[in-house]
A = this chain, B = another copy of it.
Amino acid sequence: MHIEVISNVNEAQSERFTHRTAIVIDVLRATSTIVAALEAGAAGIVPVETVLEARALQTGGNLIAGERFCRKIPGFDLGNSPEEFTADNVLGRRIVLTTTNGTRAIHKAMRADHVLVGSLNNAAACARTALELRRDIVLLCAGSHDEFALEDGLCAGLLISELQQLSPSPLEMNDIGSAMLGLYKSAGTAIHEMLQSSTTGKRLNKNGSGRDIERCSQVNISGIVPRMQGDMLVQS
């Protein structure tokens, strides 16, 4: 089995996903938030690329959620903080979500046979599901504004580490995959500190969203594996 890591959404040409399972990673915060929303009992998450598309889908009991530049969009029901996605707010609801990088990355991956959503929170469960799907795997790090984001690379490294532990045969990977595995190993128990020091981590801290960093840093606290079915992410 081959694992390919793509370091940011700008490098994600659609042919790289054909016949593969994609795992989309945007640790701070879109993919952590999607996991939290399903964990809290949301019926599903519809990722869309623009604010306009989200507003057009604000019908039939749908909630609309999202951010631009780490801030909630005016008039939206929810922002992009996992903490907002509680059972009180989202149980049984369909959520239309648009974020600066994460939802764009999910759309880039749509050519894949299967699209999963990964985060530090659900890495082991996500790796297990991906292996069961028996395809080569592409880990798409969303990054931030077309640049590599440290937290997404770290999560790619964790996912490779989990895949290695679960896979019955040795895994091949591209060079950026080997590098991210090395990065993850070097982090040891300092994952929260590494997220704090990342570009997005610093920006979130400045915006008063430091608690989100803490939550998004927690490894394997959820068994939820969001998976694209039609236009909606649901629990697989």
Contact = CB atoms under 8 A, between A and B. Distances in A.
A199 to B, nearest CB: 5
A25 to B, nearest CB: 14
Interface string A102-128: 000000000000000000000000000
B183 A7 contact: no
State the oligomeric state as a number of copies: 2
Please give me the 8 A-B residue pairs with the lowest Cβ-Cβ distance, nearest first: A182-B186, A186-B186, A150-B175, A182-B183, A148-B176, A185-B186, A179-B183, A153-B179
Given A153-B179, A180-B179, A174 B187 contact: no
Contacts of A150: 175, 178-179
Most buried by B among A7, A154, A179, A186: A179
A164 interface: no
A149 interface: yes
Interface in A182-196: 182-183, 185-187, 194
A218 interface: no
- Could you tell me the dominant secondary structure of chain A's interface residues? helix
A197 interface: yes
Contacts of A7: 7, 148, 176
Interface in A137-159: 144, 147-150, 153-154
A165 interface: no
